Amino acid sequence: MTAQPDTAAIRLTSLSHGAGCACKLPLSALDELMASLGPGVLGAAGATPGGPSALAAGDLLVGAAEGDDAAVLRLDDERALVLTTDFFTPIVDDPGDWGRIAAANALSDVYAMGGRPLLALNLTAWPGETLPLSILADVLRGGASVAASAGCLVVGGHTIDDPEPKYGMAVVGLASPDRLFTIDAARPGDALVLTKAIGTGVVATAHKRGAAPADVLRAAVASMTTLNAAASEAALACGVTAATDVTGFSLLGHLHRMLRASGVSAAVSAGAVPLLPGALELTAAGYVSGGTRNNMSYLEPWVSFSDAVPADVAVLLRDAQTSGGLLLATAAPDALVAELTSRSTLAAAVIGRVEPGPAGRITVNP
């Protein structure tokens, strides 16, 4: 009989070159890639299919050109299909937690469109020769448990051999075609509301280096495994039309994308942004991921910080998040905050305001 490896001694994060959504390709590279593809390669909303297609013109409500959280296809007057995918490298050492985080993160893009998830497929890359499959089974169990709590069935998947483990899901959901949340619907005067605290990137980076206190890691994992379902339901109940989820491009990066798509600017109140416990201390101690550094350089021409914003808070606003909250724009923030609070979302913070001005510009005040 071959000796079984001690699975408890395996640190999954040591196998990962970057943590969670911090391993996304930088926004600058993604922009360049999309622009280089040229027209007609990826389907855009309103486009008429060039060749034979089952799609009727106009039924693709959100496509690649929109750069939104998920694609949306109208099925009939009441129903639209929502389609999205996400996967990443180990963000924590516990396999079940990694699975739960990756699933909550993949499902989040459906909630960010105002949909609810129906079916999912596991996307898995695994070093089959060196890493026991029992660990992968724990990852998949974690993912399935979160999907089940979302009312979403995992119905299959795909697994490749890869020296670096990766896990995530492709998810199909349903939404009402006339009640979608899109990235291009923020309007001057709207308040910006955030439904989770930020700081998962610094906590994950510190954890990878063995420096995150247990209670700090626990709070970050609790946040990352929490579904954005309640936040999405609250936003639907309040008639919100503009939303995105906060992930690897950071709070300011995803806000910038929303503002750019909507043709507006915004002012953010740094002091109103909720921070995870320990995040500020770990930022001060230098646990800043490569993804966050990419966000900082990408956002340089777009964001002006008041001198009164503490430097570590300014870093956290650009911290690469994994499975972050929803960022919602609303003309009726009091009603939305009350609805979020009644549904016990992790946060319900008014963090700024949409303003008329150059598309994508952000001013950060203390």
Catalytic residues: 21
Radius of gyration of the chain (CA): 20
Segment lying near Mg ion (by CB under 5 A), choices 183-191, 221-229, 241-249, 267-275: 241-249
Distance (Å, whole) CA 353 – CA 359 = 14
Distance (Å, whole) CA 104 – CA 120 = 12
DSSP assignment of 270-328: GGGS-B-TTHHHHHHTT---HHHHHHHHHHTTTEEE-TTS-HHHHHHTTPPPSS--EEE
Our CB check for Mg ion shows the closer of 69 and 93 to be: 69
Give the Cβ contact number of residue 124 at 10 Å. Answer: 21
In the complex, least distance from residue 274 CB atom to ligand ATP, rounded to whole angstroms? 19
Distance (Å, whole) CA 62 – CA 303 = 27
Site for ligand ATP in 63-92 (CB under 6 A): 64, 67-69, 84, 86
Considering CB distances under 5 to 8 angstroms, the limit depending on partner class, which of Mg ion, ligand ATP, none binds residue 339?
none
Known binding residues for ATP are 24, 66-68, 86, 109, 157-159
Cβ distance 58 to 46 under 8 Å?
Answer: yes
Listed residue (327, 329, 337, 326) closest to 229, CA to CA? 326
Considering CB distances under 5 to 8 angstroms, the limit depending on partner class, which of ligand ATP, Mg ion, none binds residue 43?
none
Known binding residues for Mg(2+) are 69, 109, 245
Distance (Å, whole) CA 61 – CA 68 = 11
DSSP state of 216: H
In the complex, least distance from residue 183 CB atom to ligand ATP, rounded to whole angstroms? 8
Distance (Å, whole) CA 93 – CA 74 = 40
Site for Mg ion in 207-226 (CB under 5 A): none
Segment lying near ligand ATP (by CB under 6 A), choices 215-223, 232-240, 241-249, 294-302: 241-249
In the complex, least distance from residue 352 CB atom to ligand ATP, rounded to whole angstroms? 20
Distance (Å, whole) CA 36 – CA 31 = 9
- Percent helix, percent strand, percent coil in the chain, to nearest 5: 40, 20, 40
The one among 21, 154, 202, 231 contacting ligand ATP by CB under 6 A? 21
200 binds ligand ATP (CB under 6 A): no
The one among 97, 245, 319, 339 contacting ligand ATP by CB under 6 A? 245
Per-position x/- string for 133-172, each x denoting binding to ligand ATP as judged by CB under 6 A, each - no binding: ----------------------------------------
In the complex, least distance from residue 129 CB atom to ligand ATP, rounded to whole angstroms? 28
Cβ distance 274 to 198 under 8 Å?
Answer: yes
Considering CB distances under 5 to 8 angstroms, the limit depending on partner class, which of Mg ion, ligand ATP, none binds residue 177?
none
| Cβ-closest position to ligand ATP | 247
Residues pairing with 364 in the sheet: 268, 305
Considering CB distances under 5 to 8 angstroms, the limit depending on partner class, which of ligand ATP, Mg ion, none binds residue 67?
ligand ATP
Count residues near Mg ion (CB under 5 A).
3
Residues pairing with 237 in the sheet: none
Contacts of 357 (CB under 8 A, 6+ apart): 264, 265
248 binds ligand ATP (CB under 6 A): yes
The one among 122, 182, 232, 247 contacting ligand ATP by CB under 6 A? 247
Which residues of the chain form contacts with Mg ion (CB under 5 A)?
A: 69, 109, 245
Which residues of the chain form contacts with ligand ATP (CB under 6 A)?
A: 21, 30, 42, 64, 67-69, 84, 86, 109, 245, 247-248
